[in-house]
Amino acid sequence: MTDKKFKWGLIGPGRIAHQFAQGLAVIKNAALYAVASTNPERGQAFANQYGGAKVYNSYESMVNDPEVDAVYIATPHPFHYENIKLCLEAGKPVLCEKPLTVNAAETRELIELARAKKVFLLEALWTRFLPVYAPVRTWLDQGLIGEIKLMVGTFGFAAPVDESDRWQNPELAGGTLLDMGIYPIAVSQWVMGRQPSSFASMAKLSKTGVDEMTAVLLQYDNGAISQFHSSFLSNNVNDFYIYGAEGYIRLHANFWAATKASMVTNNQEITITRPLRGGGFEYQTEEAMRCIRAGLLESPGMPHAETLANMELMDAIRADIGVKYPFEK
Ligand SMILES: NC(=O)c1ccc[n+]([C@@H]2O[C@H](COP(=O)([O-])OP(=O)(O)OC[C@H]3O[C@@H](n4cnc5c(N)ncnc54)[C@H](OP(=O)(O)O)[C@@H]3O)[C@@H](O)[C@H]2O)c1
């Protein structure tokens, strides 16, 4: 089975889809087999760039191609629900860009559908699968920095204000929380192995009504706090610190794409580097292929329960900062 070429289909060949295709290029026994786009020229240009994949002008016809082993979805958030549903109904395993959906109700429904259909479903939270995160996990599990007390992370860029971009568009579930804040939420959850018991949040909303800067405090049952900011308004340091009673760990900027981590204990610092083989998406893609080949319905690296819990938390934060998308009203 592992000798057979794994054939990926791709829905939505826009910006981030390129990083997926570049990652695929460094994976042995995997290929971009088909691209589906509502825009024939865009689909063809993408396919030509990555070695002549088959082009479909409808998502439906691609997911019904029996040669497609799994589908990667790279459309903006509000379309994930219908795109994932289409794939699951057709029995196609799914790797879908983060956030899996725009809210927890949609995520819950799709997880139930994936389980009922016995089809694999993974939120493409690529950070979780990067090589440098494995030794950091070992440091944490060995308790080298003691009990976790505090985490601090930022994800911010001074983005040009362009109200036509999906980031600013409430109809496309724009704003920083779902696009960027999801990373410190997912890393905090990964560090603590559980959800926070409470949170506090504040945001600055844009003229279009999306959050262009959000600050959140998550508190855990042992009193530990994770503090993060997501922003379109400033170029932040963008690393992530994990402070324990006996030392600290730093995931170097940009932490969501980290190749370097340091640990300081007893005034001694060690730094490790784990370069990427491709653009970084290859690790989550390999994990999806491993799980699909093993007959799993979810990845232990980003289980359904954690995707759902993060969506519930983001729903609650959005309610607190007053961001409700027009299609949710
Ligand atoms: N993992 C990461 O590091 C990362 C980074 C950036 C973004 N993302 C995620 O990737 C997803 C896509 O983001 P992106 O910036 O790459 O998207 P994008 O370039 O704006 O759009 C990607 C594709 O989605 C479809 N699409 C775009 N706008 C649409 C609209 N208004 N109506 C219907 N379809 C539309 C188009 O598909 P067709 O070609 O079929 O028309 C387009 O090619 C988001 O959910 C985002 O959170 C992840």
Atom of ligand 1 nearest to the CA of 125: 1
Counting from 1 in the atom list of ligand 1, the atom nearest the Cα of 281 is 1
Residue 12 Cβ inside 6 Å of ligand 1? The answer reads yes
| Alpha carbon distances (Å) from 280 to 129, 225, 260 | 9, 29, 13
CA of 37 to the centre of ligand 1 (A): 11
Q: Quick check: do 6-127+281-299 and 131-275 share a fold?
A: no
Task: Locate the domains of the chain by residue range.
Answer: 6-127+281-299, 131-275
pLDDT digits (tens, 9 = 90+) for 43-82: 999 999 998 899 999 999 999 999 999 999 999 999 999 9
- Could you report the per-residue pLDDT of 244-262, keeping only the tens digit for each? 999 999 999 999 999 999 9
CATH 3.40.50.720 fits 6-127+281-299, yes or no: yes
317: which 2 tokens? 């934060």
> Cα of 249 to ligand 1 centre, how many Å?
33
What are residue 122's DSSP bridge partners?
95
Span 125-147, pLDDT tens digits: 999 999 999 999 999 999 999 99
Distance between alpha carbon 20 and the CA centroid of its chain, in Å?
12
- In the DSSP assignment, the letter for residue 209 is S
Of 81, 68, 72, nearest to 284 (Cα)?
Answer: 72
CA atoms of 317 and 171, how far apart (whole Å): 18
The answer to pTM > 0.95 is: yes
- Output the CATH code of domain 131-275: 3.30.360.10
